[in-house]
C-alpha cells in the first residue's frame, strides 16, 4: 500500500509540474515540452546568451537573456522564435506568447528567467527556466 501511495505521489507531482496554468504560472525548460493549452506545447530549444548583471557585482547595464523557444502541436514544430528577455521587450514577448497561450479572463503579467546569475557561479544550459506568470 505504501509503495502504491509513493508511486501515485510521484506521478501526480510530475503531471502537475508540466502545466500550472490554473495556478497562474507556466515554466518552460530545455529538457521537456510544457503543455500551454489549445493543443500547443513549448520548450526552450536553444540557449543563446545571458548578459544579466550577476548578484554581487555593480553593473552599468542590467543585461538580457536570449533563447529560442520552440512551439509544437503534437510532434510537429509550428514555430521557433528567438526571445530576448529584458524589461524593454516585455510587450513584444507577451504578444508573441499570447498567440499560443489563450487564457480566458487572464493575461500575462510577467516573464522571468531563473536562476539569477551570481558572481563566479556558472549556470548550465539545462538549469535555465522561463517563467510566464498570469493574473
| Residue bearing cell 520552440 | 70
The reply to whether 14 falls in a domain is no
> Which tens digits make up the pLDDT trace of 19-52?
556 678 999 999 999 999 889 999 999 999 999 9
> Which tens digits make up the pLDDT trace of 1-25?
433 333 333 333 344 345 556 678 9
Q: Is the peptide bond before 115 cis (omega within 30 degrees of 0)?
A: yes
| pLDDT attached to residue 22 | 62
The reply to whether 78 falls in a domain is yes
| pLDDT attached to residue 106 | 84
> Which tens digits make up the pLDDT trace of 65-111?
999 999 999 999 999 999 999 989 999 999 999 999 987 788 999 99
The reply to whether 5 falls in a domain is no
| pLDDT attached to residue 19 | 56
The reply to whether 9 falls in a domain is no
| pLDDT attached to residue 124 | 95
**3-class state of residue 81 by DSSP:** strand
| Residue bearing cell 509540474 | 17
The reply to whether 49 falls in a domain is yes
CB-CB contact of 82 with 98 (8 Å)? no
The reply to whether 81 falls in a domain is yes
Look at the alpha carbons of 93, 97, 99, 103 in this order and tell me if their dihedral is positive or negative.
Answer: negative
What's CA 8's distance to the chain center, in Å? 26
The reply to whether 7 falls in a domain is no
Residue 6 CB neighbour total at 10 angstroms: 10
The reply to whether 4 falls in a domain is no
Classify burial at 61, counting beta carbons within 10 Å of its beta carbon; exposed 0-12, middle 13-18, buried 19 or more. exposed
| pLDDT attached to residue 7 | 34
| pLDDT attached to residue 92 | 97
Q: How many CA atoms lie within 13 A of 32 on its CB side?
A: 9
Number of structural domains, the chain? 1
Domain range for 112 = 22-134
Q: Which of the four pLDDT bands, split at 50, 70 and 90, describes residue 63?
A: very high
Amino acid at each position: 500500500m505504501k509503495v502504491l501511495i509513493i508511486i501515485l505521489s510521484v506521478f501526480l507531482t510530475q503531471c502537475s509540474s508540466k502545466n500550472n496554468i490554473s495556478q497562474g504560472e507556466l515554466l518552460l525548460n530545455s529538457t521537456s515540452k510544457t503543455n500551454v493549452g489549445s493543443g500547443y506545447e513549448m520548450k526552450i530549444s536553444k540557449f543563446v546568451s545571458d548578459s544579466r548583471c550577476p548578484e554581487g557585482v555593480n553593473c552599468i547595464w542590467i543585461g538580457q537573456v536570449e533563447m529560442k523557444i520552440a512551439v509544437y502541436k503534437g510532434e510537429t514544430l509550428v514555430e521557433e522564435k528567438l526571445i530576448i528577455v529584458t524589461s524593454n521587450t516585455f510587450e513584444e514577448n507577451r504578444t508573441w506568447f499570447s498567440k499560443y497561450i489563450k487564457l480566458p479572463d487572464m493575461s500575462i503579467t510577467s516573464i522571468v528567467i531563473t536562476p539569477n546569475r551570481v558572481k563566479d557561479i556558472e549556470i548550465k544550459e539545462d538549469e535555465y527556466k522561463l517563467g510566464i506568470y498570469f493574473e
